[in-house]
Amino acid sequence: MQTILVPVDFSPVSRNAAIYAAELARFFQARLLLFHAYMLPTPVSEVPYVMVTADEMQQENEAFLKKEAQNLHSTYGVEVESLVRIGIASDEIRELAKEESVDLVVMGMKGAGGLDKIIGSTTTNVIRKLKTPVLIIPHDAGYKQVQHITYASDFSYKTSSNLFAPLLEIAKTLGAKIHILHVQKDAVKIDELAGRKSTERAFSGYDHEFVNVTDNSVTHGINDYLQHHASELLVMVAHTHTFFERIFSKSRTTAMCYETKIPLLVLQDKG
């Protein structure tokens, strides 16, 4: 892992995520890239007022972000760069991830309800648009040494050979054990057995175990397991869904983004 991208909006949530990313960068000796995207304000009143120019906003944001970068560098001793662009945050993050060959995107998340869940947030939009792994840091989750990782899987998807590479790299570097959690409503299906065998091959040579839990709700089953088995990192996979699936069914991964109380690593299985 060489480059970690951290989108920043100068909120306490994003600052917390940046601190977590800096701690992680120390272990991997990785470069930290702080990024801020902004939009020009749109007049909504007939009352005259002074408009801020794009140049002024660019300079102001660059100054703020540079200060954030300097603080992280002086505190954690990691290489930190900063970049500011105008545009929609999720789109700019996607392009930057390609340009900079980003290995991991670290973002903050604050649990929300009502319209916030329906409309979505920058974080969930980034998960949907990127093929790069995304590490989500809950607003009240501080950095803890990762000793136990829970990977929640339903074993129903064929996995690519490099899907688990980021997870295995983290587990190896931090010396963590991986607990492969399968939440099932009833008996295990044939395709799930095939998926388990495929996962077993992928995790061969790494410290891991398989855990089966019976629960009518996948998210409840995951949360209940985490309450009784301490883990410092939860891992799930975001799969490609059709347009209609995105509209009419809620992704379990997206649901966990709002509910998790520990950092959530989202691996991308999008071909």
From the centroid of its chain, how far is CA 20? 12
**3-state DSSP of the chain:** CCEEEEECCCCHHHHHHHHHHHHHHHHHCCEEEEEEEECCCCCCCCCCCCCCCHHHHHHHHHHHHHHHHHHHHHHHCCCEEEEEEECCHHHHHHHHHHHCCCCEEEEEECCCCCHHHHHCCHHHHHHHHCCCCEEEEECCCCCCCCCEEEEECCCCCCCCCCCCHHHHHHHHHHCCEEEEEEEECCCCCHHHHHHHHHHHHHCCCCCEEEEEEECCCHHHHHHHHHHHCCCCEEEEEEECCCHHHHHHCCCHHHHHHHHCCCCEEEEEECC
Higher-pLDDT residue of 141, 244: 141
Domain ranges of the chain: 3-137, 148-269
Q: Which CATH architecture has domain 3-137?
A: 3-Layer(aba) Sandwich (3.40)
| Count of beta carbons in the 10 Å neighbourhood of residue 177 | 15
pLDDT at 189: 62
* Digit-coded pLDDT (tens) for 42-82: 655 565 555 678 888 899 999 999 999 999 999 999 999 99
Count of Cβ atoms closer than 10 Å to residue 46 Cβ: 5
Domains 3-137 and 148-269 share a fold: yes
Q: Do residues 233 and 262 lie in contact, with contact meaning Cβ atoms separated by under 8 Å? A: yes
Q: Which of 31-40, 98-107, 185-194, 201-210 has the lowest mean pLDDT?
A: 185-194
The CATH number of domain 148-269 is 1.10.287.370: no
| Residue of higher predicted confidence among 56 and 19 | 19
The pLDDT tens digits for 102-146 are 999 999 887 544 334 433 478 888 888 888 999 999 888 889 999
Percentage of the chain modeled with pLDDT above 90? 48
